[in-house]
Chain A
Amino acid sequence: MPGQCREVAVTGLGVISPAGIGARATWDGLLTGRSTAARDPELAGLPVDISCRVPDFDTAALVGRKAAWRLDRFVAMALLAARHAVADAGLDPTDWDPARVGVVMGTGTGSMERYVGEFAKLAAGRPLDISPLAITRSVPNMAAAEIALDLTVTGPNFAVSTACASGSSALGIARDLLRSGTCDIVLAGGAESARHPIPAACFHRMGALSTRTADPAGACRPFDAARDGFVLSEGAAVLVLERPAHAQARGARPRAHLVGYGASCDAYHYAAPDPDGRGAAAALTAALADAGAVPGDIDHINAHGTGTRRNDLAEAKALHSVFPAPPAVTSLKGALGHAIGAAGAIEAAVTVMSLQRDTVPPTVNHEDTDLDIDLDIVAKVPRTTAQSAAASLSIGFGGQNAALVFRSA
């Protein structure tokens, strides 16, 4: 077994987001500075009937009918993102040792849609009509399992569920599988499609969703003084993480390196973040230490930035406590909404692209920074700035936090 390594190479990206299908489509969409939020017919009749939806996601057309019949939407998105990432990395599955390839995927909810549909049969007194695939189609581990099945990889295979930090946590755990020498390659990220009336109604009742429904595109306003919540979203991202020696041996050119990971739990409240941001700060501090970096090394932070009053204030406190002079901050949630368990992975992929292009995408809908937040928010338009390192922070219900540090390749 190969020895340990400190950093890992990011050699491929696959992103499915409301800005489009593909990493390039997502990046280009973000640079337009426009929100993807719109009225969602599937949420009709609810107090909040807007979402950010992946456009033109036809499962059968995109992943093939042979697989589509048993894949729920979040699994199909994960599968397509994985295929994109493998192709982007220039990997040929016939060339790798399948036992040395792992998969780690994060998701927050799995597929509520499937359970609700099947429950309706039970409620109607038809228990024998419940699909034998009700479980295998919808449980959280199926994103990772179906990726392995599709690519015939037999290494460690995990699902990670840390609510809105799931995608970031998955990347950190994948990093550890490479660092320890357990794997040569790990496909890691997150997938979620929680644009369903139950999570929509639930998040609304929690006070987490923006109620600016008359103006969907202007609804989610991260770090803005007038913020009132997030917009539900969906999507998936998979990153190909690889041991640097393995990438080098096959002549792959990394897009960036994942050099630091930190995780923590607030242990404060089941939904609200610690108001002082102590857990988020601990995750960031751990990620910096893991990377062997000091705060001044970080050129930009891809923040969690949900646009809820509590998250953004707590997160700002965390950033101020870790960084004597916080670097440029952006939140993608104004543009892409909040894809729950996929959000951290999509944001990590965008952070990698940001480093490659020395460009920080804008925080859509950010007009006036809350005085209590006082951060250098990259607002409205992209900012071109030389970067050598960036951090991506995710904060989940349950107080679960994850931070990642990437360096330019």
Chain B
Amino acid sequence: MSTSTELITSTLTETFDLDPAEVTPERTFEDLGLDSLALVEMGLMLQERTGISLEDVPLQTSIEELAALMDAQDADSALFAAPHSGA
């Protein structure tokens, strides 16, 4: 399980009181009972923790799909940051 997947999972279980056994990577946020406002709120919580901006994520997105999105954005950030940070 990727770090992003773990982070999403822990945010869901800690914040929304979901049963950890139910929060598996293939589940979508809709499956887990979140509504669109809760999903945006969760995105802001993840942004606070990672600095990665998450906008317009559909409710039908699964945990692993969101994790992949986060990992891709994280990689982009690293690429952009490299010329400066590597000096």
Mark B28-51 against chain A: 1 for CB-CB distance below 8 A, else 0. Answer: 000000000110110010010000
> Considering only CB atoms, which chain B residue lies closest to A60 in the complex?
B17
A205: interface (CB < 8 Å): no
Which residues of the other chain, B, contact A131 by a CB distance below 8 angstroms?
40-41, 44
> Considering only CB atoms, which chain A residue lies closest to B48 in the complex?
A129
Is B17 within 8 A of A64, CB to CB?
yes
The verdict on A66 contacting B17 (CB below 8 Å), with A128-B55, A129-B47, A131-B44 known, is: yes
Q: Which residues of A contact B (CB under 8 A)?
A: 64-66, 69-70, 128-129, 131-133, 136
Is A65 within 8 A of B41, CB to CB?
no
Inter-chain contact total with CB atoms closer than 8 Å: 26
Give the Cβ gap from A17 to chain B, nearest Cβ, in Å: 27
Which residues of the other chain, A, contact B2 by a CB distance below 8 angstroms?
none
Is A65 within 8 A of B16, CB to CB?
yes
Majority DSSP secondary structure for residues of A touching B: loop
Which residues of the other chain, A, contact B85 by a CB distance below 8 angstroms?
none
Which residues of the other chain, B, contact A64 by a CB distance below 8 angstroms?
17
Which residues of the other chain, A, contact B15 by a CB distance below 8 angstroms?
65, 69
> Considering only CB atoms, which chain A residue lies closest to B15 in the complex?
A69
Which residues of the other chain, B, contact A66 by a CB distance below 8 angstroms?
16-17
Chain B interface size band reads 10 to 19
B14: interface (CB < 8 Å): yes
Is B41 within 8 A of A132, CB to CB?
yes
Is A129 within 8 A of B17, CB to CB?
no
6 examples of A-B residue contacts, CB within 8 angstroms: A64-B17, A65-B15, A69-B38, A70-B38, A129-B44, A136-B37
Is B55 within 8 A of A133, CB to CB?
no
Which residues of the other chain, A, contact B14 by a CB distance below 8 angstroms?
65
> Considering only CB atoms, which chain B residue lies closest to A121 in the complex?
B44
Complexed CA–CA distance, A128 and B53 (Å): 10
Which residues of the other chain, A, contact B55 by a CB distance below 8 angstroms?
128
Which residues of the other chain, A, contact B16 by a CB distance below 8 angstroms?
65-66, 69
Of listed A66, A129, A132, A136, residue having the most chain B CB within 10 A: A132
The 6 closest A-B pairs by CB, nearest first: A65-B17, A66-B17, A132-B40, A132-B37, A69-B15, A133-B41
Instruction: List B3-28 residues whose CB lies under 8 Å from chain A.
Output: 14-17
Give the Cβ gap from B36 to chain A, nearest Cβ, in Å: 8
Which residues of the other chain, B, contact A132 by a CB distance below 8 angstroms?
37, 40-41
Give the Cβ gap from A307 to chain B, nearest Cβ, in Å: 40
> Considering only CB atoms, which chain A residue lies closest to B53 in the complex?
A128
Complexed CA–CA distance, A132 and B44 (Å): 10
Which residues of the other chain, B, contact A65 by a CB distance below 8 angstroms?
14-17
Is A69 within 8 A of B44, CB to CB?
no
Complexed CA–CA distance, A132 and B16 (Å): 16
> Considering only CB atoms, which chain A residue lies closest to B47 in the complex?
A129
Instruction: List B57-79 residues whose CB lies under 8 Å from chain A.
Output: none
Given contacts A128-B55, A132-B40, 12 further A-B contacts (CB under 8 A): A65-B14, A65-B15, A65-B16, A65-B17, A66-B16, A66-B17, A69-B15, A69-B16, A129-B44, A129-B47, A132-B37, A133-B41
Complexed CA–CA distance, A128 and B38 (Å): 15
Complexed CA–CA distance, A66 and B14 (Å): 9
> Considering only CB atoms, which chain B residue lies closest to A128 in the complex?
B55
Which residues of the other chain, A, contact B47 by a CB distance below 8 angstroms?
129
Which residues of the other chain, A, contact B41 by a CB distance below 8 angstroms?
69-70, 131-133
Complexed CA–CA distance, A233 and B14 (Å): 30
Give the Cβ gap from B82 to chain A, nearest Cβ, in Å: 25
Which residues of the other chain, B, contact A70 by a CB distance below 8 angstroms?
38, 41
Complexed CA–CA distance, A136 and B41 (Å): 12
Complexed CA–CA distance, A132 and B43 (Å): 11
Give the Cβ gap from B58 to chain A, nearest Cβ, in Å: 15
Which residues of the other chain, A, contact B44 by a CB distance below 8 angstroms?
129, 131
Complexed CA–CA distance, A131 and B17 (Å): 20
Which residues of the other chain, B, contact A69 by a CB distance below 8 angstroms?
15-16, 38, 41
Give the Cβ gap from A63 to chain B, nearest Cβ, in Å: 11
Which residues of the other chain, A, contact B40 by a CB distance below 8 angstroms?
131-132
Which residues of the other chain, B, contact A136 by a CB distance below 8 angstroms?
37
Give the Cβ gap from A117 to chain B, nearest Cβ, in Å: 12
Give the Cβ gap from A295 to chain B, nearest Cβ, in Å: 53
Give the Cβ gap from A339 to chain B, nearest Cβ, in Å: 28
Complexed CA–CA distance, A65 and B17 (Å): 5
Which residues of the other chain, A, contact B53 by a CB distance below 8 angstroms?
128
> Considering only CB atoms, which chain B residue lies closest to A69 in the complex?
B15
Give the Cβ gap from B70 to chain A, nearest Cβ, in Å: 16
Which residues of the other chain, B, contact A129 by a CB distance below 8 angstroms?
44, 47
